[in-house]
Amino acid sequence: MDWVRIIPLMSETVRLCSISELPGIDQAKEFAVGENMVCVANVGGELSAMSNVCTHRGGTLGQGVVLDGKLVCPWHGWMFDTKTGVPDEDPHKPVPVYRLRIDGEDVYLEM
């Protein structure tokens, strides 16, 4: 019998931005995290962070708009649930979502 060793992935917490840099209500914004880009969406006052790359055709989600409680990719209109990363068009193609934490005036991202 072959054995596979499973090593848990370690999460990394990084400072993302200050509170003043976050998107306004029903807006989205892109942030650089190392070599990656992250999208932060403010849906009705609730913040969510997710990969900035649309799983449909690679669109930049942080340049999209919030409509009907979903983040809309600006390239082809795929609509994503910002809490789960699941698109309405194909639930088998979610984008990764990340945890946000606010500490004082700073916003941290757990990847």
Burial of 35 (0-12, 13-18, 19+ CB in 10 A): exposed
What pLDDT score does 10 carry?
54
What pLDDT score does 3 carry?
52
Give me the residues of the chain with pLDDT under 70, please: 1-10
Query: What does pLDDT average to over the chain?
Result: 92
Q: How many CB atoms lie within 10 A of CB 37?
A: 15
Domain ranges of the chain: 14-110
Rounded Cα gap, residues 14 and 27, in angstroms: 22
Rounded Cα gap, residues 66 and 74, in angstroms: 10
Over residues 48-57, the pLDDT tens digits come to 999 999 999 9
Domain 14-110 belongs to what architecture?
3-layer Sandwich (2.102)
